[in-house]
Amino acid sequence: MNKVRVTILGKQYLIMGTEPDEYIQKVGLYVDKKLRQVEELGDSKLSTLMVAVLGATNVADDYFKERDRATNLKGKTLALEKQLREFNQKISNLENKIEKLTEEKSNLKMQLVRSETELGQARNPQR
């Protein structure tokens, strides 16, 4: 368990968590930034509690927007993965067709050679 001192609105808080110290500091700085934005934009008569509530509301707003964005990205990712599977299947089908056509071409070449040989023999029968 990590114990990290962070400063939020000029006051020191000891935060404990399992995350690395740098992460906990980053979270503390984010909360401080959000609360300072509320202070700057709000009425100077706002109590610390009101600043905290409005700041928490802003953080929740950020959270929900990012969660929705992540959900949308996940949906797009799933759609792209499905499309990729379909393309890979098409590629596989085309590769099979190419293989069959190559084999057919080879068979036709051999038939042509046999036919030309037979034609040559028919034109010049051996005596």
Give residue 104's pLDDT band: very low, low, confident or very high (50, 70, 90).
very high
78: which residues sit within 8 A by CB, 6+ positions away? none
SS (HEC) of 82-94 = HHHHHHHHHHHHH
pLDDT in tens, 43-88: 778 898 999 999 999 999 999 999 999 999 999 999 999 999 999 9
- Whole-number percent of the chain with pLDDT over 70: 99
Taking alpha carbons only, the member of 39, 42, 48, 56 closest to residue 11 is 48
Domain boundaries, the chain: 2-96
Task: Give the rounded distance of the alpha carbon of 19 from its chain centre.
Answer: 24
CB 35, CB 52: distance < 8 Å: yes
Instruction: Report the predicted TM-score, pTM, of the whole model to 2 decimal places.
Output: 0.66
The single residue listed with the structure tokens 């927007």 is 65
Give residue 95's pLDDT band: very low, low, confident or very high (50, 70, 90).
very high
